[in-house]
């Protein structure tokens, strides 16, 4: 059975020593985020993850969710209780404003919590994850009475939330949504249609489930400009705000999936369900994107979370499994064989995972901190930079952390050999669960197109310019610093490759959009590698000259990343510069 150990020391290092969270204590919401408090919170969160949530993971996979005849859904044994503990501990409201009952901590602290919960049991973590995203969307766009009715209950976790976008004929292309909203004459709407792949769409965790649903009003324009967002509670709140009459919506099926069996992926049927418009008519997609952007960071974290827990178990296995002898002579001659961690190729796989997990963790928190600063910073420049970075880097968190997360879970399975392929060890489940992260909340291809087609030119290229200038400044500042030379030099090379990619896109992507589309995946990978390199350079800087093993190991791991991972950037640049022609040349029927 797999184990999980919350990476508390790593969180502390990144938050305190690399990102300097404590230095923001003058900002609203950061006052309680002093290092000691954050450490104490994360320690408790770690315990919850290790002791309460992690034991659910295998059960959830084996049992899955059950749709009952009355359209209710039973979640796997223990899920409901564990959720109740999360609610009782106030974990669901960690980073929500105090006015809605939250604890008002910066969201970056929640990201650390979410990584741990998701490492412990990804399928479980999706329930509170979607609830938080729904609360965020309502805070952002709902009318005051809607906020006061729903948000506190979502923040407390008493009620949960979902996002309803996909229909059978539309996933990525939401302009094809057919669900209809017809005015009831009393200010409410009757929602009719079918939504599929609705994560946490039905379950037994909470007294009510608040569905946020994209639908089209009668007479609204076609495409995405005719979509409005509606809040459709499973039970209509009565005058006291308590769950009352059952709404005309229900779960009519659960998908049988490759993984995340513990999460109910529901087919939702709306038969004239009562819904309330959230925000403006026909402006629903914009609001849904508030939810979606949060969910995209969360999805990136999921990719990282599975790589993290899979890596931990691979490392344990590699230290314990005796097989073969070190190439340089027996390492433990008194044993029948050496532990497989002596083998360089096993090491390579572990170093790949370690350098990814620790770098990706830093990157997710770095981006998350900028998300906090977007709202909390006391100067316009920092707020603007926060928003810019969120826009620019969210697709990278989503796609790079899930694509590489999956690749690294696969490496962890490989360390286990045959034992990784049998379900008993739990390694196969990490792989099966993790695979969805590259798909949902906008496929990784959609992220790449978002980055190349929208985000590079966002606000006239301001976010890109600011981020590249930050890297440039860091590299320049450190090129003469003893011990930082290889990091500064490698970062300079990576930055140069990103610039070359941007230049190529500007010269070739605007005249032929297919050049941009064909380059998008490789550009995102190149940019992702560069972000990781920047994180490793920052972590190296924070570790330099410090003797403790922890810091020395960071320097070694960072060096591994720069010497053995970062060179992949050149091949991505070559692919970008090869252009769209070889990608697009064949007619569709040739495939």
* Touching a second copy, residues 254-293 (CB under 8 A): 255-259
Q: Which residues of 308-342 are buried (b: 16+ CB within 10 A; e: fewer)?
A: bbbbbbbbebbeebeeeebeeeeeeeeeeebbbbb
Residue 483 touching a second copy (CB under 8 A)? no
Q: Does 200 help bind a second copy (rule: CB under 8 A)?
A: no
Read off the DSSP letter of residue 451: I
Local structure of residue 454 (DSSP, 8 states): I
For a second copy, the closer CB: 103 or 525: 525
Residues 334-393 that bind a second copy (CB under 8 A): 336-337, 339, 341-351, 354
Are the CB atoms for 196 and 166 separated by under 8 Å?
yes
- Contacts of a second copy in 1-60 (CB under 8 A): none
- Min dist CB 99 to a second copy, Å, is 36
Residues 128-167 that bind a second copy (CB under 8 A): 166
List 315, 457, 500, 544, residue binding a second copy (CB under 8 A): 315
Closer residue to a second copy in complex, CB, 254/376: 254
What minimum distance in Å lies between the beta carbon of 35 and a second copy? Answer: 24
Residues 488-517 that bind a second copy (CB under 8 A): 512-514, 516-517
Q: Would you tell me how many other CB atoms lie within 10 Å of the CB of residue 172? A: 13
216 lies in the binding site for a second copy (CB under 8 A): no
Query: In the set 228, 263, 444, 497, which binds a second copy (CB under 8 A)?
Result: 444
Is 439 an interacting residue with respect to a second copy (CB under 8 A)? yes
**Pattern of binders to a second copy over 222-261, x per CB under 8 A?**
---------------------------------xxxxx--
Query: In this complex, which beta carbon is closest to a second copy, that of residue 98 or of residue 507?
Result: 507
* Catalytic residue (choose from 158, 441, 479, 507): 441
**Among residues 27, 71, 176, 220, which is the contact residue for a second copy, using CB under 8 A?**
176
Q: Determine the distance from the C-alpha atom of residue 555 to the mean position of all C-alpha atoms in its chain, rounded to a whole number.
A: 26
Location of structure tokens 């190349």? 452
Tell me if 120 sits within 8 A of 128, measured CB to CB. Answer: no
Q: Does 586 bind a second copy (CB under 8 A)?
A: yes
d(CA 212, CA 201): 11
CA angle 156, 30, 116 (to 5 degrees): 55
Of 120, 134, 65, 522, residue with least CA distance to 302: 120
Task: Name the segment binding a second copy (CB under 8 A); options: 187-195, 232-240, 277-285, 421-429.
Answer: 421-429
How many residues line the site for a second copy (CB under 8 A)?
A: 96
Q: How far apart are CA 44 and CA 140, in angstroms?
A: 30
* CA terminus-to-terminus distance, the chain: 43
Looking at 424, 470, 503, 507, which residue binds a second copy (CB under 8 A)? 424
CA distance 143 to 148: 9
> Token pair for residue 396?
């990278």
- Mark the segment that binds a second copy (CB under 8 A) among 39-47, 140-148, 297-305, 549-557: 549-557
Is 469 or 550 the residue whose CB approaches a second copy more closely?
Answer: 550
CB atoms within 10 A of CB 251: 23
Is 581 marked active-site? no
Q: Alpha-carbon distance 399 to 401, whole Å?
A: 6
**Contact (Cβ atoms closer than 8 angstroms) between residue 262 and residue 60:** yes
Catalytic residue list: 441
């Amino acid at each position: 059975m797999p184990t999980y150990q919350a990476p508390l020391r790593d969180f502390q290092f990144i938050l305190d020593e690399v990102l300097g969270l404590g230095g923001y204590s003058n900002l609203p919401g950061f006052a309680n985020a002093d290092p000691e408090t954050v450490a104490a919170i994360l320690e408790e969160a770690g315990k919850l993850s290790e002791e309460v949530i992690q034991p659910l993971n295998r059960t959830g996979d084996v049992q899955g969710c059950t749709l009952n005849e009355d359209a209710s859904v039973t979640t796997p044994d223990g899920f409901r209780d564990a959720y109740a503990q999360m609610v009782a501990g106030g974990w669901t409201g960690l980073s929500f404003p105090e006015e809605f009952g939250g604890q008002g901590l910066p969201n970056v602290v929640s990201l650390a919590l979410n990584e741990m919960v998701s490492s412990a049991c990804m399928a479980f973590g999706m329930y509170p994850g979607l609830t938080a995203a729904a609360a965020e969307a309502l805070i952002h766009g709902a009318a005051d009475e809607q906020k006061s009715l729903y948000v506190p209950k979502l923040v407390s976790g008493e009620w949960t939330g979902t996002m309803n976008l996909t229909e059978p004929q539309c996933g990525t292309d939401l302009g094809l949504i057919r669900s209809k909203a017809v005015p009831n004459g009393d200010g409410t709407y009757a929602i009719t249609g079918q939504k599929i792949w609705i994560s946490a769409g039905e379950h037994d965790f909470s007294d009510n489930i608040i569905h946020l649903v994209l639908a089209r009003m009668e007479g609204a324009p076609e495409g995405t400009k005719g979509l409005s967002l509606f809040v459709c509670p499973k039970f209509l709140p009565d005058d006291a705000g308590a769950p009352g009459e059952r709404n005309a919506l229900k779960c009519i099926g659960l998908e049988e999936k490759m993984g995340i069996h513990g999460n109910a992926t529901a087919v939702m049927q709306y038969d004239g369900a009562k819904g309330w418009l959230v925000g403006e008519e026909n402006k629903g997609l914009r609001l849904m994107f508030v939810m979606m952007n949060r969910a995209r960071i969360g999805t990136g974290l999921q990719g990282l979370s599975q790589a993290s827990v899979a890596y931990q178990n691979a490392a344990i296995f590699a230290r314990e499994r005796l097989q073969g002898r070190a190439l340089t002579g027996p390492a433990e001659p008194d044993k029948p064989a050496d532990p497989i961690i002596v083998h360089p190729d096993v090491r390579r796989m572990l170093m790949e995972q370690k350098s990814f997990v620790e770098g990706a963790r830093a990157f997710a928190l770095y981006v998350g901190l900028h998300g906090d600063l977007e709202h909390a910073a006391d100067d316009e420049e920092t707020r603007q930079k926060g928003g810019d970075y969120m826009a620019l880097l969210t697709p990278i968190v989503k796609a790079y952390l899930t694509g590489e997360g999956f690749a690294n879970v696969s490496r962890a399975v490989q360390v286990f050999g045959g034992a990784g392929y049998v379900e008993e060890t739990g390694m196969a489940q990490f792989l099966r669960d993790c695979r969805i992260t590259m798909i949902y909340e906008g496929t990784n291809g959609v992220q790449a197109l978002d980055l190349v087609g929208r985000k590079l030119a966002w606000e006239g290229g301001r976010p890109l310019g600011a981020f590249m200038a930050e890297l440039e400044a860091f590299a320049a500042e450190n090129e003469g610093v003893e011990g930082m030379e290889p990091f500064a030099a490698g970062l300079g090379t990576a930055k140069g490759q990103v610039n070359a990619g941007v230049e190529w896109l500007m010269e070739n992507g605007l005249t032929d959009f297919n050049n941009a589309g064909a380059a998008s995946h490789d550009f995102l990978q190149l940019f992702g590698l560069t972000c990781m390199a920047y994180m490793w350079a920052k972590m190296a800087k924070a570790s330099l000259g410090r003797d403790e093993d922890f810091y020395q190991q960071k320097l070694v791991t960072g060096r591994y990343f720069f010497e053995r991972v970062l060179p992949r950037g050149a091949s991505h640049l070559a692919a970008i510069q090869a252009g769209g022609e070889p990608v697009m040349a064949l007619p569709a029927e040739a495939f």
